[in-house]
Chain A
C-alpha cells in the first residue's frame, strides 16, 4: 500500500450519511464505474464528474452513518478518492472502507480549516496531513493494527485469496 499520498480535496459537512453518498435509488447497480458516477449525488450532482483523481474527501463528524451499503466506499473509490479525512466515522463504513482499500482517516477539525481544491499530503505512518497552500500540518489518528494488516494486504479480498489459496 502507498503510505504517502498527495491529491486535491473536496470539503463537505457533518453526518454525511450513506443515502447522501449513494442514494437508495441506485442500489441495484453493480457496475463499479457506474456506481462511482453517482457518488455523493445526495450532496451535489456536480461532485462525482469533477472529482480530482487520487483526491481526498474531507468531512466533519460521523461520516458514512446510516446504511451498511458497501456501495458507499465502492462509489468513493470509483469516483477517484483514495482517502476520507473526517472528525469521526460510522463503524460499518469504516470497516467497509478498510476492506476495500479506501483509507478512513480520523483527522479532527480538518474540515473547518481546509478549502475545496487545496492540495493535501497524507502520511499514513506519520499520522499527518500537510496542506500545501498554507503549510499547515494536521495530526491524525493512526489506524489500528487490524486495519493496517488488511490495508497492507491490499484489502480483505487479496488477504482472503492468499489465505484460501494456501488451503
Chain B
C-alpha cells in the first residue's frame, strides 16, 4: 500500500491526541498498516501540538516538510502555520473557530483574517474544507468534541484508507463511554458538512 501521510495540528487541550488514537485503533481494526508520532511534555502547556500519522508501506513515523497528503487543523491560524507541511496536492481540513494566542492579547502580533487564511490555503493546495467545528461540537452536545467533528470531515474526503463504519466502531469502543453518543453525533455532523461542501 502506497504511503498516505496525515498531519493533525492543534492547540494543547483540543483533543488531537484522542483523534489520532481513534484513527490508529481504526487502522488496527481494518488491518491497515499505521505508524504515528506525537509530541508530549512542555509543548502541551498551551503550545502547538502536532501528530503525524503514516498509513501504508513506510517505516518512518514522522512527516517531513512538504510531504503531508492531508492536513487537519483544529485552529485556523495553526492550519496556516502548518502549510509548510503541505504540497500542491494536499487536501486540507480546518476548523474556522479561532483561539487567539496570548501573544495577540498582549499586542505581539496580529491574528490573520479568516478570509485571508482560507484564500491562502485554497490557492496553494488541492482542496480546503473549512467550517466552524466548534459550533457543530456544541450542536452535538459537547464543545470538546471538535476533534470528532473534524475526524468526520476527514473521513468524508476519502483521502485516508479508513471507512466511516470502522472509524465509528473505533469511537464506540475506544472513547469514554459517557461521551460515545456525543462523539458519534459530532463525527456524523462533520462528515455531512464536508459532504455538503464537496
A, B in one complex: no
